[in-house]
Chains A and B, each alone.
Chain A
Amino acid sequence: MKKTLQLLSGNESLALGAYHAGVQVASAYPGTPSTEILENLSRFKDIYAEWSTNEKVAMEVGMGAAYTGARAMVSMKHVGLNVASDPFMAASITGIVGGLVVVTADDPQIHSSQNEQDNRHYARLAKVPMLEPTDSQDVYDLMGYAFDISEEFDTPVLVRTTTRIAHSKSVVDVKKSRKVKNPQPAFLFNKQKYVMLPVYALPRHAEVEKRMVRLAEYCETFPMNQIFWNKKKIGVVTSGVAYQYAREVFPEASFLKLGMTWPLPQQMIKGFAAQVERLIVVEELDPFLQDNIKSMGIEVSGKEFIPLVGELNTRIVTESSAGAGLLPESEKGEIIPPASGLARRPPLLCPGCPHTGIYFTLNTIGQRSKLLESDKPQEPKLIITGDIGCYTLGAYPPLNVLDTTACMGAGIGQALGMEKAGVKSKIVAVIGDSTFLHSGITGLVNAVYNEGHITILILDNRTTAMTGHQEHPGTGISAQGKETYAVDIESLCRGIGVKDIKVVNAFDLKALRSGLRDSLGREEVSVIIVRGACAMQVRKREHPRKVDVEKCNQCGICLKLGCPAIQSKDGRVFIEPTLCAGDICTICEQLCPQKAIGV
């Protein structure tokens, strides 16, 4: 084995590629599947890496750094680019000095997101070049090009990955070492470039259009736009992970693999199309390549048979291509259905999760289980608007405590909107600590300013849990492990003008119930900070609880907590000792009416 070969995930490879390309400033907000990019970069002590409060701020940090001639990278999940789109569009028009690379990690199949969005459209919208890797080696190699193109064409460069690229490992030949192009960055006065007043912005737009013309020329010779000639019956144009599926499904076809998918190399595509009998595009999600190739006047098909929804795989590409007559039916192989009668195993809140107690309280006070008993439309007695994080899992039974989940910070605005529309039910907005700092603050300011009567629960588990425990401004630890200032959420709410603020222990069922009842009765904005550490971060797990079979009357109320440690077999309830979090939690012990749970 060659010494330089490593088995790296797309995210690890991207971080290493950026490091070797001389990135000096990296900023991000955690989001699946992009999180590990900044986690890996933060380990290099000779660069600056930060968790920003949200993607918009991350983009602004990246812009500022690039304006000084430093190489900067901003990474986020696909919906993060929605949040960051304002400064992203601005960076496109001002251009940069040092390379600015923006990474968007899309999530086809919605493995862990709220929508399935094809961010390739952002490249066209913002008029910036876009690179798409097909595996970890490509990721590593593309990063050097990304920074160089950014500087040469005075533009941010979008690098688009997907979950299957970001989270798959493949072999990477790590050939380079770190080189820093501009070790002493400096900002140079240039208001025509940086101050986007109408008088300066319009000429900048003209510059952007000139840049696109130059890029269109450049991409014709871009080394990672590659043709692999084989038989000429079928020619496949493809990019990203779809390339891998297509190579496997069409071993005899010729391929045009696009490493740069905006702008598109028109001459190269035309030349390729002219040589093959039938031109097809294999791509995930939208017909981005296909529509743009069609608009060049080239006959091409793809989305007529390749699905628009979900991620692709070799089976889907085989079956859809066979359906379109591109492969013999025999290629489909013998596929048997999944085994029947399998109990599902959806993700759950962990044993000892600090969200379980408040969610059980919301479930019972709001009589939420009744909502599942009838198919008719019902108005919840207690409306609960949700947000994005582990606590979104509370939507599943048995807790059933969420009525909405849209995007980060949305729950607070939605709650106020429902109240102002005039609904009769009480309304609670649920948000996590990291999410509150990300984009909940402005919603809270709005609710106070507009005299709302809603209750806001800030579930403060002192971490960004769902993406794997990243630090945030409320923890007071930076991405690179430095102790900094911890934002005090209580004082922040007070400063905004919230009068009623309660801080409640997440593992005290009685206090949760009385606190929630009090807040719901108030004619003002009320904030309850439910505080308890994430169970995954508590190492000490002592005294797992047990069920006393003599005392237990099988009422089953403890099972309604949805705790994975509490199980039942043949009508007997027991607590799995290897899963129970023990002393840190005790919610089931507090709940049991028979006092049958103890040490």
Chain B
Amino acid sequence: MKSKLKKMDILVTGVGGQGVVLASDIIGEAALTAGFDVKKTDTLGMAQRGGSVVSHVRLAERVWSPLIKEGEVDLLLAFEKLEAARWSHYLKKNAVAIINSYEQPPLSVSLGQEKYLTDDEIVAALKRRTDKIYIIEGNKKAQELGNVRTVNILMLGCLAAFAPLETGVWKSTISKRLPERLREINLKAFDVGRKEIEGVRIGKS
């Protein structure tokens, strides 16, 4: 069975408070259940809330470095679109980039000292590496479900379409990691994400 396993290097990014660490934990735990060797590491710096957050998750038969090398990321999952551009140089050629269209302007933008990239500029940054860009209205969809905080699990649903893991494994891992009162809505969010990714055209810009 082991010989069939592929490797996958995943970068999950967003803004502090969006649930990046929980999402990457779930990917890691699901992959372990499926028989992969797994390493994951978060770079939070001093961010409590509002800072830039990135998690590296690596699955393979054997993983050495916990950090993914620049240019080696197979899949980028971004919960905020500026953060997607920030890590674009980590993408491998023809990698998959799944991006939440949500925009959270940094303070320097609100103060007028720096500019938030336009959608075209964000896509151009990613297109240096890949055309496989999927833009998801994650916050809107999560809001429709009744809790915007489910956006991280909804985005995991989008990722699931590309990861070598079965739906049952995802769902049991999500159930294990979330408190009972949040379980149902998050499992629903996961399904919404899985459906949503089907409807988005590859290479959309």
| Nearest CB of chain B from residue A345's CB, rounded to whole Å | 4
| Nearest CB of chain A from residue B81's CB, rounded to whole Å | 11
Query: Looking at the complex, which one of B44, B70, B88, B111 makes contact with A111 (CB distance below 8 Å)?
Result: B44
Instruction: Please give me the 9 A-B residue pairs with the lowest Cβ-Cβ distance, nearest first.
Output: A339-B125, A343-B114, A168-B41, A347-B51, A168-B66, A248-B64, A564-B50, A345-B52, A568-B110
A168 touches B39 (CB 8 A): yes
How many angstroms from the CA of A347 to the CA of B50 in the assembled complex? 6
A335 touches B108 (CB 8 A): no
Interface size on B, residues (CB 8 A): 58
B28 touches A245 (CB 8 A): no
Query: Looking at the complex, which one of B88, B110, B129 makes contact with A567 (CB distance below 8 Å)?
Result: B110
| Given A111-B43, A343-B108, A567-B105, A335 contacting B89 (CB threshold 8 A) | yes
Indicate whether A325 reaches chain B with its CB closer than 8 angstroms. Answer: no
Query: Looking at the complex, which one of A244, A336, A562, A568 makes contact with B112 (CB distance below 8 Å)?
Result: A568
How many angstroms from the CA of A334 to the CA of B115 in the assembled complex? 29
B89 touches A169 (CB 8 A): no
A171 touches B105 (CB 8 A): no
B38 touches A348 (CB 8 A): no
| Nearest CB of chain A from residue B141's CB, rounded to whole Å | 15
| CB-defined contacts of A482 to chain B, threshold 8 Å | none
Q: Which of A164, A245, A347, A562 has the most CB of B within 10 A?
A: A347
How many angstroms from the CA of A346 to the CA of B89 in the assembled complex? 20
| Nearest CB of chain B from residue A241's CB, rounded to whole Å | 7
Indicate whether B48 reaches chain A with its CB closer than 8 angstroms. Answer: yes
B65 touches A244 (CB 8 A): yes
* Contacts beyond the supplied A313-B67, A315-B70, A398-B111: 13 A-B pairs with Cβ under 8 Å: A1-B32, A7-B25, A164-B67, A244-B66, A314-B65, A339-B88, A345-B15, A346-B107, A350-B50, A556-B111, A564-B107, A567-B109, A568-B109
B107 touches A348 (CB 8 A): yes
A170 touches B51 (CB 8 A): no
| CB-defined contacts of A111 to chain B, threshold 8 Å | 43-46
Indicate whether A541 reaches chain B with its CB closer than 8 angstroms. Answer: no
B39 touches A169 (CB 8 A): yes
B48 touches A338 (CB 8 A): no
Interface hits, A549-599 → B, CB 8 Å: 556, 559, 562, 564, 566-569, 573, 576, 578-579
| Nearest CB of chain A from residue B91's CB, rounded to whole Å | 9
| CB-defined contacts of A112 to chain B, threshold 8 Å | 44-46
| CB-defined contacts of A345 to chain B, threshold 8 Å | 15, 50-52, 82-83, 86, 106
Question: Interface residues, chain A, CB within 8 Å of chain B?
Answer: 1, 5-7, 111-112, 135, 164, 167-171, 241, 244-245, 247-248, 313-315, 318, 333-339, 341-348, 350-351, 390, 393, 397-398, 465-466, 536, 556, 559, 562, 564, 566-569, 573, 576, 578-579
| Nearest CB of chain A from residue B24's CB, rounded to whole Å | 9
| CB-defined contacts of A559 to chain B, threshold 8 Å | 110-111
| CB-defined contacts of A579 to chain B, threshold 8 Å | 50
| CB-defined contacts of A576 to chain B, threshold 8 Å | 104
| CB-defined contacts of B16 to chain A, threshold 8 Å | 347
| Given A170-B66, A567-B105, A347 contacting B48 (CB threshold 8 A) | yes
Give the nearest-CB partner of B80 in chain A.
A345
Contact bitstring B28-43, A, C-beta under 8 A = 1, else 0: 1100111101111111
What are some 13 contacts across the A-B interface (CB < 8 A)? Answer: A111-B46, A168-B39, A168-B66, A169-B40, A245-B67, A318-B69, A336-B89, A339-B86, A344-B106, A345-B50, A345-B82, A345-B106, A564-B107
Q: Which of B48, B63, B72, B129 has the most CB of A within 10 A?
A: B48
| Nearest CB of chain B from residue A402's CB, rounded to whole Å | 14
Query: Looking at the complex, which one of A164, A466, A568, A573 makes contact with B48 (CB distance below 8 Å)?
Result: A466
B82 touches A347 (CB 8 A): no
B42 touches A167 (CB 8 A): yes
Indicate whether B71 reaches chain A with its CB closer than 8 angstroms. Answer: yes
| Given A245-B65, A336-B128, A347-B50, A342 contacting B39 (CB threshold 8 A) | no
| CB-defined contacts of B104 to chain A, threshold 8 Å | 576
Give the nearest-CB partner of B87 in chain A.
A338
A7 touches B38 (CB 8 A): yes
Give the nearest-CB partner of A560 in chain B.
B111
Q: Which of B28, B40, B50, B128 has the most CB of A within 10 A?
A: B50
How many angstroms from the CA of A390 to the CA of B33 in the assembled complex? 37
Interface hits, B110-152 → A, CB 8 Å: 110-112, 114-117, 121, 125, 128-129, 148
Indicate whether B47 reaches chain A with its CB closer than 8 angstroms. Answer: yes
Indicate whether B192 reaches chain A with its CB closer than 8 angstroms. Answer: no
| Given A338-B86, A338-B89, A342-B82, A171 contacting B48 (CB threshold 8 A) | no
| Nearest CB of chain A from residue B182's CB, rounded to whole Å | 15
| Nearest CB of chain A from residue B14's CB, rounded to whole Å | 10
Give the nearest-CB partner of A32 in chain B.
B46
| CB-defined contacts of B37 to chain A, threshold 8 Å | 171
| Nearest CB of chain A from residue B21's CB, rounded to whole Å | 10
| Nearest CB of chain B from residue A66's CB, rounded to whole Å | 33
How many angstroms from the CA of A466 to the CA of B46 in the assembled complex? 8
Indicate whether B154 reaches chain A with its CB closer than 8 angstroms. Answer: no
| CB-defined contacts of B109 to chain A, threshold 8 Å | 343, 567-568
| CB-defined contacts of B44 to chain A, threshold 8 Å | 111-112
How many angstroms from the CA of A345 to the CA of B67 in the assembled complex? 21
B51 touches A348 (CB 8 A): yes
Indicate whether B49 reaches chain A with its CB closer than 8 angstroms. Answer: yes
| CB-defined contacts of A241 to chain B, threshold 8 Å | 66
Indicate whether B85 reaches chain A with its CB closer than 8 angstroms. Answer: yes
Give the nearest-CB partner of B45 in chain A.
A111
Give the nearest-CB partner of B35 in chain A.
A1
Query: Looking at the complex, which one of B32, B45, B86, B128 makes contact with A342 (CB distance below 8 Å)?
Result: B86
